[in-house]
C-alpha cells in the first residue's frame, strides 16, 4: 500500500480549507458557536466520509490520505471535528454501524478504569474529555460488556453533557451515561478488538499537531523576513536565524515521527506491536516538538504573536491542548518503555537502527 498521499486530494483540500476556515470562524467556535457553514462545505466535499469504504458511501482513502487530511486540519486550525468524524465513521463502517453526514464524536478509552460498561443492554459510566461532543449528532464509544468489548453508537441528547473546554477554547465535554440505551452496538472485531481506537486517535492527533507546527514555522519565517529592526529584517540577525533553525529542526523531527506512525499503520495494521511502538513514539516526539516549537515561534514574533488579532495564538494554544488528547507524552513514554522492556535487551539495538 502507498505511503504517499494523493497530491490532487491534498491540493484540493488545502484550497478548500484555506477559503472556508478563516480567523473569524475559529474565534466564533471558541465563543461557543458551531461552525455549520464550514461543516456543510466539508460534508459536500465528502471529507467526513474519506476513511469509509465505498459500500458505505465513503471515499476509501488510504491511511496516508487520512493522515494528510488530519495534518491539513491542524495546519488550517479547523474548528470542527473532521478528524474525529473520519475515525468514527471508519470504525462504525468496519462494524456495520451506519452514520450520516453530521459531525460525530469519538470516545475511545484511555484505561480500563475509564471505560463505559454495558449491562443488560444499557450503558453506564463516564466518557471524559470527548472532543466536540456538544456539537455532535452521534457519539461512537467503546464499552466493556458481558461478552467482551463492544462498539456503541449513542445520541448525545440522551446523556448528560458536562461541558468543558481546552486552553484553545475547543469543546472537551464529559458524557455521563446512566442506564442509557444505545442506538446500535457491535462486538469489536479484529484488528480493533484491543485499544486500536485509542492508537488511531493518538496517531491522527499527532498529525494535527504536525500540521500546526508546519504552519507556525512558515509564519515565523515570513514574519522574520518582514519585520524590521535597526534598518533590516530581523531574519538577518544570527540569533533569529538560530531560533528559526531550531524550530525547523523540531518540525522535521515531528514530521518524521508522524510519518513513521503512518507507515507502520499502513504496513502492519492497527493491532501490531510495531504500530503501537511507532504511534507511541509519534505522540511523544510530536508533543515535545509542540512545546518547544510554540515557544520559539512566540519568541520570533515577539509581542505581536501574543495579540488576539494575530493568528499565531490559534495554533499554539491548540498545540498545547492537543498534547493531552488520547494521552499525554508521559503516558505514552511509559507505554513505550514497557514495550521496549518486553522485547528484551537483545532486540533494543536492532529496533533503534531499523530503517
Residues 268-315: pLDDT tens digits? 999 999 999 999 999 999 999 999 999 999 999 998 877 888 999 999
Q: How confident is the model at residue 32 (pLDDT cuts 50, 70, 90)?
A: confident
Report the pLDDT value the prediction gives residue 2, as an integer from 0 to 100: 82
Query: Mean of the per-residue pLDDT values for the chain?
Result: 92
The set of cell numbers assigned to 347 is 532486540
Give the pLDDT score at 56.
Answer: 87
Residue 108 has pLDDT above 80, yes or no: no
Residue spans per domain, the chain: 7-187, 196-353
Q: Is there a contact between 84 and 92 (Cβ–Cβ < 8 Å)?
A: no
User: E-assigned strands of 89-237?
Assistant: 104-107, 116-119, 122-131, 138-145, 148-154, 160-162, 172-180, 184-187, 228-229, 232-233
pLDDT of 98 reads 86
Q: Is the pLDDT of residue 113 over 70?
A: no
Give me the architecture of the 7-187 domain, per CATH: Beta Barrel (2.40)
Dmax (CA) of the chain: 74
Residue 182 CB contacts under 8 Å (≥ 6 apart), including other chains = 118, 121, 123, 152, 153, 154
Q: What is the mean pLDDT of residues 168-175?
A: 92
Which one of 1.20.140.10, 3.40.50.1100, 3.40.50.300, 2.30.180.10 gives the CATH number of domain 196-353? 1.20.140.10
In this prediction, residue 114 carries a pLDDT of: 61
Confidence band for 71, pLDDT divided at 50, 70 and 90 = very high
| Banded pLDDT at 148 (limits 50, 70, 90) | confident
Amino acid at each position: 500500500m502507498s505511503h504517499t498521499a494523493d497530491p490532487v486530494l491534498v491540493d484540493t483540500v488545502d484550497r478548500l480549507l484555506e477559503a472556508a476556515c478563516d480567523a473569524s470562524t475559529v474565534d466564533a467556535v471558541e465563543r461557543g458557536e458551531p461552525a455549520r457553514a464550514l461543516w456543510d462545505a466539508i460534508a459536500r466535499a465528502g471529507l467526513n466520509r474519506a476513511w469509509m469504504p465505498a459500500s458505505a458511501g465513503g471515499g476509501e482513502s488510504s491511511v496516508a490520505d487520512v493522515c494528510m487530511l488530519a495534518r491539513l486540519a491542524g495546519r488550517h486550525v479547523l474548528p470542527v471535528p473532521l478528524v474525529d468524524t473520519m475515525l468514527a465513521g471508519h470504525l462504525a463502517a468496519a462494524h456495520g454501524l451506519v452514520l450520516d453526514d453530521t459531525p460525530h464524536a469519538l470516545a475511545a478509552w484511555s484505561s480500563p478504569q475509564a471505560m463505559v460498561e454495558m449491562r443488560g443492554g444499557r450503558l453506564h459510566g463516564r466518557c471524559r474529555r470527548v472532543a466536540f461532543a456538544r456539537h455532535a449528532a452521534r457519539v461512537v464509544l467503546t464499552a466493556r460488556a458481558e461478552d467482551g468489548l463492544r462498539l456503541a453508537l449513542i445520541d448525545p441528547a440522551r446523556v448528560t453533557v458536562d461541558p468543558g473546554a481546552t486552553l484553545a477554547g475547543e469543546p472537551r465535554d464529559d458524557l455521563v451515561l446512566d442506564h442509557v440505551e444505545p442506538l446500535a452496538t457491535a462486538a469489536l472485531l479484529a484488528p480493533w478488538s484491543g485499544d486500536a481506537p485509542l492508537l488511531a486517535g493518538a496517531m491522527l492527533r499527532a498529525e494535527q499537531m504536525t500540521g500546526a507546527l508546519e504552519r507556525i514555522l512558515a509564519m515565523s519565517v515570513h514574519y522574520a523576513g518582514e519585520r524590521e529592526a535597526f534598518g533590516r529584517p530581523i531574519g538577518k540577525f544570527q540569533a533569529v536565524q538560530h531560533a528559526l533553525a531550531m524550530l525547523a529542526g523540531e518540525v522535521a523531527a515531528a514530521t518524521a515521527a508522524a510519518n513513521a506512525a503512518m507507515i507502520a499503520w499502513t504496513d502492519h495494521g492497527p493491532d501490531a506491536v510495531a504500530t503501537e511502538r511507532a504511534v507511541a513514539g509519534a505522540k511523544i516526539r510530536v508533543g515535545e516538538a509542540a512545546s518547544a516549537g510554540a515557544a520559539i515561534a512566540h519568541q520570533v514574533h515577539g509581542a505581536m504573536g501574543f495579540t488576539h488579532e494575530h493568528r499565531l495564538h490559534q495554533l499554539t494554544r491548540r498545540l498545547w491542548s492537543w498534547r493531552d488528547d488520547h494521552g499525554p507524552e508521559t503516558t505514552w513514554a511509559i507505554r513505550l518503555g514497557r514495550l521496549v522492556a518486553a522485547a528484551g535487551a537483545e532486540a533494543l539495538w536492532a529496533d533503534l537502527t531499523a530503517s
